[in-house]
Structure 1
Amino acid sequence: MEINAARMLSGARTCFVGIGLPSTAANLARRITEPGLVLIYESGTIGSKPTRLPLSIGDGELADTADAVVTVPEMFNYWLQGGRIDVGFLGAAQIDRFANINTTVVDRGPDRPEGRLPGAGGAPEIAANCGRVLVVLRHSTRNFVEKTDFVTTLGHGSGPGDRRALGMPGAGPAAVITDLGVLRPDPGTAELVLTELHPGVTVEQVREATGWKLRTADDITTTSPPTAEELEALRALKAAGRSPR
């Protein structure tokens, strides 16, 4: 999942990075295929080159290794809303068939208080204004739901045309990378469709892990297995953040 997510950044120049799996993928891409990739974090760091995976957007490693640090208002008003960032890379707690994302609150069932999540952060603006958006998360019926309990970040709304009607300049989610495969929006309906499987995964496995009746592409392909170079780089990246015993 992490390696295929990193591969999605091939050819990108600038990436607005979310913490967690998106940060792992973006930093891995910069190490193995896109050394010139400019990593941008919500705290105002531009061109960060962390030697380890950052713990949060406020991790000092991001500022210490950045080409520049700007204010948060400048980051959003000038860089993001000005259309100067190619790719936004996000995670999610819930995602629906139109790639709408929930990171705010989940329904925990009768007689139980709602579950509070980290919240929106900059994700709504990232999804609205970046040239395209990538999403990475693990595949289960808990995460891939028929309808999100809350829409934190608009993907494709309820179908084609919704983003344009709301004045959103970015193209929206272009791919959702999971531990089972890759889903992409159908050009006609904007509904997520299974287009790629990871080696050893079946269509039925993906359907069982999805909370709606998942459609599949006419020609489903299989992702290439990780190379030795990719695995070595990923392991080194993760090991760099561990304290020596």
Structure 2
Amino acid sequence: MSAMPNYSLTELITVNLARSFKDKEVGFTGLVTGGAAAIYGTSMPLAAMTLARLTHAPDLTILLAGWSHNPDLSTLDVMPDSEFDAVLRDLPCEAHMMDYPGTWAIKRGDIDFGFSSAVQVDRVGNINSVCVGDYRAPKVRLVGPILQPEHMALFGREYVMMPHHGARNFVDRVDYISGVGYPGGEKGRRALGLRSGGPEWVVTPKCIFDFDRVNGAIRVKSIHSEADRDLQSHTGFDVSAAEAALTRTPTTEELDILRRHVDPKGILLGGH
């Protein structure tokens, strides 16, 4: 019988996100609300960027909600639940920015990477947070595009954070495109006038997807455990994890920094 891992799923994902960031990059995340969506869309990205700053990327810039720069997350007692919550306003940080374009501008291409969450993702990486069903008579009306068109078109790359992995979330074709993936690959993006950007990873509780950008096809980068190898039964398009690598495990040093300095109160990642 194998030993239980000494890290949580949120720590595993957070560490792997952190490793993918480079020094001097600028990362942007908003405030997603609501249970697992908030953990995937906001908490893990913030923890990952902070971990990167404390390890290999000391000059990475964190833009929380676009206006709180390099916040001290270790002081949090509760997560703010809106982008102008008093908790966020009073959170110690290096700077606040309330003007536009300010130091970093989306349209100027100053954001190296960002984070999105969605209800649907399809096989070419399009995302949907607008509706389920026909837009003119939807079964469910969702939150809306919430800057996703800009994230997927103007940022250098995008991490799509999916709190659930089921066949209704991973579909052959999204019901509404609120963020553009790789329809027709990178050539297809260029035909739409999109010269850069697009999804880098799609992160789920079961795996990390990346993309064959030439053909525009999603593929399995890694699975989080052997129990996740049967992705097909949870995915609404053809996918195989038979030969997929396991997601790289955290080191003792990474876990120590994450637990003692990034999230000492367990506010971001749900305890240790």
Q: TM-score range by the shorter chain?
A: 0.7 to 0.9
Q: Is residue 130 of structure 1 aligned with residue 155 of structure 2?
A: yes
Aligned alpha-carbon RMSD (Å): 3.0
Q: Comparing 42-51 with 55-64, which one deviates more in the overlay?
A: 42-51
- Call closer, same or farther: CA 1:163–1:2 in 2, change over 3 Å: farther
Partner SS state of residue 127, structure 1: helix
Report the CA distance shift for 1:115/1:38 in structure 2 as closer, same or farther (over 3 A).
same
How far does the alpha carbon of each residue in 1:170-219 deviate from its partner, in whole angstroms, 9 at most, with x for none?
33101111111111111431211112011232432x111110111458x5
CA distance in 2, matches of 1:223, 1:214: 17
Q: Which residue of 2 aligns with 1:24?
A: 43
Q: Which amino acid aligns with 1:190?
A: G
| C-alpha distance in 1 between matches for 2:246 and 2:98 | 41
| Secondary structure of 1:196 counterpart | strand
Give the aligned partner of residue 8 of structure 1. 17
On the 8 A contact 2:43/2:268 being kept in 1, the answer is no
1:148-186: per-residue Cα shift (whole Å, max 9, x none)? 111111122343312212222433101111111111111
Q: Which residue matches 1:70?
A: 98
Measured in 1, the distance between the counterparts of 2:244 and 2:12 equals 16
Q: Secondary structure of 2:48's partner?
A: helix
CA contact (8 A) 2:184 2:215 kept: no
> What are the ranges of 5 or more consecutive residues in structure 1 without an aligned counterpart?
none
Q: In the alignment, what sits opposite 1:162?
A: 188
Query: In structure 2, do the counterparts of structure 1 residues 211 and 136 end up closer, same or farther at CA, with 3 Å as the change threshold?
Result: same
Normalising by structure 2, report the TM-score.
0.74
What SS is found at the alignment partner of 2:118?
coil
Percent identical across equivalent pairs? 25
Instruction: Report the Cα offset of residue 47 of structure 1.
Output: 3.2
Aligned residue pairs total 235
TM-score, scaled to structure 1:
0.82
In structure 2, the gaps of 5 or more residues are 1-8, 33-37
Instruction: Pick from 178, 198, 217 the counterpart of residue 191 of structure 1.
Output: 217
Amino acid at match of 1:45: S
